[in-house]
Amino acid sequence: MITARGRRRALYAVATLVATIALPVHAAPVDNPAEVFELPAVEVVGTTPLPGLGVALRDVPANVQMFGSRLLGRQRPTTLAQFLDANANSTSAAAGQGNPFQQSIDFRGFSASPILGTPQGVSVFQDGVRINEPFGDVVNWDLLPRSAISTVQIIPGSAAAFGLNTLGGALAIYTKSGAQFPGTSVEASGGSFGSGQAAFETGGARGALDWFATGHFADDHGWAEHNPSHIRQLFGKVGYQDDVTDLDVSLTLADNRLQGTQTLPLSMLANPRQAYTFPDENDNRLAFLAAKGSRFLGQQTLLGANVYYRHYKSSNFSSNVNDDFGTVDATTGMVQSNEAFNDRSSIDQSSAGFGVQLTWKGALRGVQHHVAVGAAGDFGDTHFAQDAQPASFTAARGTDPNGAFTRMTDVALRNAYTGVFATDSIALADAWTLSLAGRFNGARIKIADRSGEDPALDGSHGFSRFNPAVGINVNPAAALTVYAGYNEGMRAPTPIELTCADPEAPCRLPNQFLADPPLAKVVAKTLETGARGKLGAATTWSVAAYRTDLANDIQFVSSGGVAANAGFFQNVGRTRRQGIELHVEQRIGPVDLSLRYNHIDATFQSTFVAASASNSTADAAGAIVVRPGNRIPGIATDSLKLRAEFDQGPWSLGASAVAASPQYAHGDENNADVNGRVPGYAVVHLDAQWRATPQLELFAQVVNLFDRRYYNFALLGRNVFTGPNGAFGPASGVDGVAEQFRAVGTPRSVVVGLRYSFDRASVTAAKPAD
């Protein structure tokens, strides 16, 4: 763990950054362009991890997507993951845990998920700090309140400058400041399934200082049984800005309790609100302190830096089916009589890091350059412990303990991720821009057994690679950009993958660690070409085609037993994600219309053998053969997203429709299981606002307006609850019935609320919000 001395050093680094950047200077430009990413809407792209000056969208060789706080505020999504599912190209959500705050997001076939065991392929940044957790690279969407977000940018491809885990893209989140979002407001809402929420925002500025704070508090019984959520989120920021200095210190706090219901076998879907087993609870707590700052060293040179300290604790309690039920213990000779066991695990994680970046804009030999060079380091210490307790299932499929907890795993993990990078945007001519970038990444992961009983766990793993990127943009007219780009990225195996890679000894996630063979790093190579532009003043459009090839891709392969989360990680050779993206947005009087279409062909490109005993085509050993051209499970081939907004006087109305084609279930990597694909779906959501007075706003939301039954995640497993009324069925052994298990999407729900904004004249703002 990071010691108290280490924490003091991190806090000292924050103080040093504050003191260094805030020193007075004399020469300064009139405005500070480094504030741009705190605006409600921006037209430049953060092409490097640290916020800086950004690059104009016309000069970026990728189909970048940008979303501002206005759209987030109108739709009021549960999490950012839910918002991206409804609004962004090539994104889809999966609710494998059955909790709305624990959804996974897939972007171009790569995941950013809170679920341990999901191979991650998207890096996520909050104000320049990488927030993929050191343990498993997961992304916890429940930790940051929506009301803290100013803008979101999705930079697609293997964006080399963003470092590790950027296989399919990078997601950059920029938070609000009091200078750009002044005023105070409170809101309260309630609705279906016992949901109740309260939130506040306050921000302002006085002279060079500004402040912003927001909080979100929610309690939700959940639409399914044993599925409540308890959310407590706080975010605060103080800043100092003058003509040459931009400094912010922020604090993010969260204390959340989330319960899930897992997937359900097809035979149980007549009652989609029931839980397969329960309880399944996650408690997530976060304290995240970060400081970022920038300082102009001249009219053309900007020095930026950040430092952070992050403490994350997560505890999990879950009920599980015992694979060994009915078997004879080789040591005692006794028949295993406990059909269930309870699993209790904890993650106590401290991480700290830094970034530094120097940006220069100017001419060399008459050619304009926009250069950024930098370095970053992220260091994490994790203590992971897991206990197991024998239990029996109740008639309702809960568990009754039959003994005490026994320690199964106790490990300490340390990771160090470092990188140096450089980018250059070169104006070859008025209409031509050449983009060059490269980053050298290094990853060191150490694992140590703390129990004294598993010394084979001890090990040190190192990975490194240089990743290049090149792109070209041509702007033959002010309203037209055509581009092409190539880039490479790398992902190092995470600690949980390195210690759960043996098909002969599958792990139960997020649980036990084993001494397994090492895995190879994943390397991504992406080609993209596209165009974007405007037709008149009312129409914007974009089109993109891409291909990402992965070498040594890592997949979690289910063991196909009765425990859906049991399996192992393995390198599966080459995989490919390729597709097209279309976007058109039109303004017609008071109506905004948006259409997004995506086609993705995600396939395995190498032959390998996978364990999937629940697949109907598995051989006697429970194995299937996956061949080139088989589709990767969990990824819909086609999706369509429509959005219509109407603004007239005090009324604002919006409707969103999301449609997705069928997908294969995990465990059906050979696409041959008798259950076939998971059906496609289409859902419609509504939102409305009425400004009764300049201060008072009433709002309403309807999710899944037509109450469609749909599924966005599935896997193959064995259902052991085949007795009367869904009771535990097998008399001996756990054979169960091979079935497809599906995650049910949220049924129709309605939320209504009100928001009151206090007199903004009482707050002196440096700059008004858009």
When pLDDT is cut at 50, 70 and 90, the band that residue 622 belongs to is confident
**203 near 232, Cβ under 8 Å?**
no
Burial class of residue 478 in the structure, from the number of CB atoms within 10 Å of its CB (0-12 exposed, 13-18 middle, 19+ buried)? exposed
When pLDDT is cut at 50, 70 and 90, the band that residue 50 belongs to is confident
Q: Return the pLDDT at 117.
A: 72
Look over the chain and give the mean of its residue pLDDT values, rounded to a whole number: 87
C-alpha span between 175 and 152 (Å, rounded): 9
Q: Return the pLDDT at 504.
A: 55
Class at the top of the CATH hierarchy for domain 4-762: mainly beta
CA distances 466 to 47, 418, 438, 509, Å, are: 18, 12, 7, 32
Compare 724 and 292 and report the one with higher pLDDT: 292
What one-character DSSP code corresponds to residue 84?
H
Pairing of strands 432-449, 264-265: unpaired
SS (H, E, C) 369-409: EEEEEEEEEEEEEEEEEEEEEEEEECCCCCEEECCCCEEEE
- Tens of pLDDT, residues 124-155: 999 999 999 988 889 999 999 999 999 999 99
Whether the model pTM is above 0.85? yes
When pLDDT is cut at 50, 70 and 90, the band that residue 507 belongs to is low
When pLDDT is cut at 50, 70 and 90, the band that residue 1 belongs to is very low
C-alpha span between 228 and 403 (Å, rounded): 27
- Tens of pLDDT, residues 678-699: 999 999 999 999 999 999 999 9
Compute φ and ψ for 12, nearest 5 degrees: -65, -40
Q: Return the pLDDT at 31.
A: 60
Min mean pLDDT across 22-26, 192-196, 553-557, 566-570 is at: 22-26
Q: Return the pLDDT at 324.
A: 74
Rounded mean pLDDT, 701-714: 95
- The domain spans of the chain are 4-762
State the number of CA atoms in the 13 A half-sphere of 430 facing the CB: 3
